[in-house]
Amino acid sequence: MLRNPNINKNKTNGGLMNKLKFKLGLLILSIGLLGFVLFYPQGADVPYPEGYRGWTHIKSMILEKGHPLYDAFGGIHHVYANKTALAGYKAGNKFKDGSVIVFDLFEAVSKDNAITEGNRKVVGVMVKNSKKYKNTGGWGFEGFAGDSRNRVVKNMEGECFACHMQAKEKDFVFSEYRK
Ligand code: HEC
C-alpha cells in the first residue's frame, strides 16, 4: 500500500491546531462568563412570586387618567404580602429578610357604570434581602409582563428604587396595613 508521508504530518498539525482551538475556546468562554457575572442585569435573580394569589391582600387602588403615575401604573392594582411581609406591615413597615410584596396591576375597564379588571399588565415584586440588595434599601425589584414570566426591569435602581426612596421612613414600602 502506498502511504503519503504528509498524512502523518497533517495529523500532528491537526492535533496542535485542535489544542489551540480548545484553549482559545476556553479563553472565550471565560471572558464570556466574566462578562455575564459582571453585567448580569441586577434583579434578574428576583424570582417570580409563585402562589402569591393565596397570600394576604393588603390593599387595592385605581389610578385613573390624569394621575401623575397613569402612564406607568394606570389601572387597578392589588398589593399582596407573604407571611414574613405581613408581619412587617403589622410591625409598622419594618420588614425582615424573606419578605415578598407583590403589586398586581390590571387594566381598568369602565363599562355600564362599573370598573372591572381587564388584562393583567404587570406583576411587580419587591423581595427583601438586606445584604444582596444593600444598594437599593435591602429590596430587590422586578416586574413580570402580563401573565408571562418575562422580566421587564433592566435597572432596579433607576426604574423602581429612585421613586420608592420617597417611602424611606417606611422601609421603602408605600402601602400600609389596614384592618
Ligand atoms: C414613580 C414612583 C414609583 C415607581 C417608579 C415605582 N413605584 Fe412601586 N409603588 C409606588 C407607589 C406610590 C406605591 C403604593 C401603591 C399603593 O399604595 O397602592 C407602590 C407600590 C409598590 C409595591 C407594593 C409595596 C409598596 O411599596 O406599597 C411594589 C411591590 C412595587 N411598588 C414595585 C415596584 C417595582 C418593581 C417598580 C419598578 C418596576 C416600581 N414599584 C416602581 C410608586 C412607584
Q: What is the pLDDT at residue 179?
A: 92
Residue 65's contacts (CB-CB under 8 Å, 6 or more residues apart) are 74
Task: Assess if CATH 3.50.70.20 describes domain 52-170.
Answer: yes
Question: 111 CA to middle of ligand 1, Å?
Answer: 27
Assess whether pLDDT exceeds 60 at residue 74. Answer: yes
Model confidence pLDDT, tens digit, residues 79-123: 999 999 999 999 999 999 999 999 999 999 999 999 999 999 999
Question: What share of the chain in percent tops pLDDT 90?
Answer: 75
Mean pLDDT of 33-60: 80
Q: How far is CA 114 from CA 55, 65, 147, in A?
A: 26, 16, 24
Mean pLDDT of 19-32: 77
Assess whether pLDDT exceeds 90 at residue 31. Answer: no
State whether the beta carbon of 101 lies less than 6 angstroms from ligand 1: yes
**Which cell numbers in the block locate residue 164?**
420608592
Residue nearest ligand 1's atom 13 by CA: 174
Q: Are 102 and 121 in contact (CB under 8 A)?
A: no
Assess whether pLDDT exceeds 90 at residue 132. Answer: yes
**Which cell numbers in the block locate residue 50?**
409563585
SS3 168: helix
Model confidence pLDDT, tens digit, residues 2-20: 555 555 555 556 677 788 8
State the pLDDT confidence band at 139, using cuts at 50, 70 and 90: very high
Domain residues of the chain, as ranges? 1-39, 52-170
Assess whether pLDDT exceeds 80 at residue 143. Answer: yes
H, E, C per residue of 14-67 = HHHHHHHHHHHHHHHHHHHHHHHHHHCCCCCCCCCCCCHHHCEEEEEEEECCCC
Task: Kindly report the pTM of this predicted structure.
Answer: 0.82
Q: Are 70 and 63 in contact (CB under 8 A)?
A: yes
DSSP 134-161: GGGTTEEEEEEETTS--B--S-HIIIII
Question: 164 CA to middle of ligand 1, Å?
Answer: 6
Residue nearest ligand 1's atom 12 by CA: 174
